Amino acid sequence: MKRHFYLWHRWLGIGLCLLMVLWFFSGLVMLYVGYPKLTQREHLAQLPPLSAEGCCVPLSQALAASGEAQPPSAIRLSTVAGTPRYLLRYGPRSIAVDARSGERLEAAGEVDALAAARQFGGEQAMHYRGLVNEDAWSHSRALDGERPLHRVELENGTLLYISSRSGEVVRDASATERAWNWVGAWLHWLYPLRGGVLDRWWSDLVIYLALAATLMTLLGIIVGTLRWRLVRPYRSGSRSPYRGLARWHHIGGLLFGLLALTWIFSGLMSMNPWRLFDNATPLDISAYQGGELRAEAFPLPAGQALQVFQQHGLQPSELHWRLVGGRGYLLGIDAQGTSALLAMDGSAPLQRLPDAELLRAAQAIRPHDSPQVEQLTAYDFYYYARSEHSMLGHLERPLPILRVRFNDPAQTWLHLDPRSGAVLSQLDESRRGSRWLFSLLHSWDWLPLLQQRPLWDLWMWLASLGGLLICLSGSVLGWRRLRGRTRRPLPSAITGGTTP
């Protein structure tokens, strides 16, 4: 049995150690430079204040112009390419309606894309780089409803991606982000396999490569432990039978092998292999909204709402239509992210909704349940913020919020934002399991570390360098093994020679 452990570890290592070197190195890059995305802060910063003058056609007219029979899942008013537009979300698709004329934008062309880029980049020179369905910096499934995408390059090297459906800038990728991502996220997530003939198998390839690497690392720990003598040293006086680079590989594996195993295994879990973290019966939270986003629920015109906001010192750059427990609100957000809620009676804007109203809306999800409620005024293990460049750093994590725990079969938790009335996240048992098996083990986003930078950085660097020691030494040893086999002289029976 031991011999099989050695052989499996050796040949899996020969096949996978170089890949793991790339994973560890690119992971170090990702500590500081993430995959390009447009954050909420970046999105709001390029928006001018909405003007109440000449704004806007009634919401009912905008919904009718969409041509859709069903109500949208989200409605907002924003400035796109210098003009106010209603942006309606229908599943993954977005539809834009001119807020002044009430006409639907059928497709955004090159002129619209350049106008949107000019709004984003100011007076910089810019170059139109054509239309693309998907490229190295736009693999995210969140962009599927916006494709194909226009690309415009700004003078400072930033590449903007503009939706051909709404005309909005939906992604920005700076020159620095793109340069580092070639050896960062693009490499770490094996994106060289995306977009070509292997694209349809990309997910399976990542899963089974990570599974094989997990097995290889586990076998390495077993083999390394078996070969280390605690009681009776080897004849050389060493507790390891190896010399030179093999000794470094052995001792490095004993010191850092478990950390390497947790990283590879948690990377596997990030792919949600075989749908392990999919709940067969997720909690239906549609009742929280208390109705559909129809014009009848929002009698207050957008122009009048803007005037009320402005009278109370808020200059909204965007309006969002919200239903909470069947009551309509307009959420105004300015360029700095400051927000307020306006009820349909036009009374003074609210800084936050009363807890009782949020709980009433949440109770409608399971009327016969008695959920547990707590107010979070500080981050904890399941609700916390990450740096903007990190994978989930673009998600808003305001405080304080309400956490509502239901007694449904999946033991679902909802995080509710009193400032906007939004459901910030929905965590059931499987997603909380993913928090342990992926987020904690892979990113070490444990608050005592995250809140004590650079302690977190030192820990990640130490562990990553240990992993690199194991994998680099393993790659060299594997290369030597292969080179030795290719140089081994052929048996005399084959060569026709004689044995000495």
209-223 pLDDT, tens digit each: 999 999 999 999 999
Provide the 3-class DSSP secondary structure of residue 46. coil
Q: Report CA 316 to chain centroid distance, whole Å.
A: 27
Question: What are the residues whose beta carbons fall under 8 Å from the beta carbon of 327, sequence distance 6 or more?
Answer: 290, 343, 344, 357
Strands 74-80 and 83-90: antiparallel
At residue 207, does pLDDT exceed 50? yes
Mean pLDDT of 226-250: 92
Which DSSP category does 368 fall into? T
Mean pLDDT of 335-364: 95
The H or E element containing residue 23 is: helix 2-30
Strand order in the sheet with 423-427: 372-376, 401-405, 413-416, 423-427
User: What pLDDT is recorded for position 59?
Assistant: 97
8-22 pLDDT, tens digit each: 999 999 999 999 999
**Spatial distance between the Cα atoms of 265 and 273, rounded to a whole number of angstroms:** 11
pLDDT band at 40 (very low <50, low <70, confident <90, very high): very high
3-class SS shares of the chain: helix, strand, coil, % to 5: 45, 15, 40
At residue 343, does pLDDT exceed 60? yes
Contact at 8 Å (CB) between 71 and 85? no
Enumerate the H helices of 403-454 as residue ranges: 429-434, 441-443, 447-450
122-155 pLDDT, tens digit each: 999 999 999 999 999 999 999 999 999 999 999 9
At residue 362, does pLDDT exceed 60? yes
User: What pLDDT is recorded for position 146?
Assistant: 96
The H or E element containing residue 95 is: strand 93-98
User: What pLDDT is recorded for position 7?
Assistant: 92
**Spatial distance between the Cα atoms of 309 and 338, rounded to a whole number of angstroms:** 12
Q: Specify the pTM.
A: 0.92
Name which of 326, 349, 327 is nearest 419 in CA terms.
349
Strand blocks (E) in 316-444: 318-324, 327-333, 339-343, 372-376, 401-405, 413-416, 423-427
User: What pLDDT is recorded for position 226?
Assistant: 93
Virtual torsion, Cα 108, 110, 116, 122, nearest 10 deg: -170
Could you count the other beta carbons within 10 Å of the beta carbon of residue 158?
A: 21
User: Which residue is listed with tokens 């906001």?
Assistant: 309
User: What pLDDT is recorded for position 488?
Assistant: 56
396-419 pLDDT, tens digit each: 999 999 999 999 999 999 999 999
Question: What are the residues whose beta carbons fall under 8 Å from the beta carbon of 367, sequence distance 6 or more?
Answer: none
**Spatial distance between the Cα atoms of 263 and 23, rounded to a whole number of angstroms:** 10
**Spatial distance between the Cα atoms of 346 and 328, rounded to a whole number of angstroms:** 11
User: What pLDDT is recorded for position 53?
Assistant: 86
296-331 pLDDT, tens digit each: 999 999 999 999 999 999 999 999 999 999 999 999
Mean pLDDT of 337-360: 95
Mean pLDDT of 202-212: 97
Provide the 3-class DSSP secondary structure of residue 478. helix
**Spatial distance between the Cα atoms of 189 and 29, rounded to a whole number of angstroms:** 13
Contact at 8 Å (CB) between 150 and 131? yes
pLDDT band at 1 (very low <50, low <70, confident <90, very high): confident
Rg (C-alpha) for the chain, rounded Å, is 28
41-95 pLDDT, tens digit each: 999 999 999 998 888 999 999 999 999 999 999 999 999 999 999 999 999 999 9
Mean pLDDT of 98-106: 95
pLDDT band at 485 (very low <50, low <70, confident <90, very high): low
Mean pLDDT taken over the chain: 93
Angle (CA) 333-39-178 rounded to 5° is 155
Provide the 3-class DSSP secondary structure of residue 157. coil
User: Which residue is listed with tokens 């993913």?
Assistant: 434
**Spatial distance between the Cα atoms of 308 and 339, rounded to a whole number of angstroms:** 13
408-461 pLDDT, tens digit each: 999 999 999 999 999 999 999 999 999 999 999 999 999 999 999 899 999 999
How is residue 457 written in tokens?
């950085």
